[in-house]
Amino acid sequence: MQDRKTIVGTTLAGVLALGLVGQALGAEAKEGEKCYGVSKAGKNDCQTATSACVGTSREDGDPTAFIYVPKGTCE
């Protein structure tokens, strides 16, 4: 019985944490802008034409990879 309570509690904590992370990332995206071609290999913020997700770009300055920067700073 204790194991079931632990599993349920851990699951709920994980779901709440994911929700908070999603809100933080959403706020970041609204306050910043996507800046393409400036990220280092493995440091991109999201999907590119050749990679599936965060941190998966394979080369520095990949023109299809972006990072979020404060508005007005991507030149």
How confident is the model over 37-54, as pLDDT tens digits? Answer: 888 988 888 766 666 677
> Which range has the worst mean pLDDT, 12-21, 31-40, 48-57?
12-21
Domain membership of residue 42 (yes or no) is: yes
* Confidence bin at 75 (pLDDT 50/70/90): confident
The parent domain of residue 17 ranges over 2-70
19-21-26-29 Cα dihedral, nearest 10 degrees: -170
Q: How many folded domains does the chain comprise?
A: 1
Domain membership of residue 29 (yes or no) is: yes
d(CA 37, CA 56): 14
Domain membership of residue 30 (yes or no) is: yes
Domain membership of residue 75 (yes or no) is: no
